[in-house]
Amino acid sequence: MSSVIISLVLLAAISTPQQVTRIVVTKSDHTMTLYHDQTKLQSYRISLGSSTGPKQLAGDRKTPEGLYVVDAKNSTSRFHRAFHVSYPNAQDRGRAAKNGVNPGGDIEIHGQMNSTAWLGPLARYFDWTAGYIALTNDEIDAIWPIVPVGTPVEIKP
């Protein structure tokens, strides 16, 4: 009987997905990679903002660059599901203040717009967001339970 219990515990440990402890977005490669500590869990091809370079001000359609955290989850987003990212950080606010502009906000890692979800994986072959980081709905569903609020997000050029 005890060998059956040990086998069930081992099976549960193997089949339970590891929690994400870090997200790295590399804009130049259009990839988002999930890590558990130093172990790479999965990489995804992503869509980004439709303008290049780091986000500078509200409405510029650029994806920010820097260090952030997932600070909220929205299961009823108009983009299927969404992880809110803590943009702007102190550096972003300082740069915007120096330039006399509004840094913007409300940056998310999200699925596809509910009305265009039928595009599925085709949507990731062009940059269509207003500065967000977009996955397919199936991909956001897959990572939803393993990305907790507080997960660090690094967005690289």
In which band, very low, low, confident or very high, does the pLDDT at 43 lie, cut at 50, 70 and 90?
Answer: very high
Per-residue confidence (pLDDT) for residue 8, from 0 to 100: 46
For the stretch 73-126, pLDDT in tens is: 999 998 999 999 999 999 999 999 999 999 999 999 999 887 676 677 777 778
pLDDT over threshold 60, residue 53: yes
pLDDT mean over 53-77: 95
Q: Which residues contact 23 (CB under 8 A, 6 or more apart)?
A: 32, 33, 34, 35, 70, 109, 147, 151, 152, 153, 154
- The number of beta carbons lying within 10 Å of the beta carbon of residue 100 is 7
| Nearest-angstrom CA–CA distance, 48 and 27 | 8
pLDDT mean over 43-64: 93
What is the pTM for the complete model shown? 0.86
Q: Determine whether domain 19-156 maps to CATH 2.60.40.1190.
A: no
In which band, very low, low, confident or very high, does the pLDDT at 72 lie, cut at 50, 70 and 90?
Answer: very high
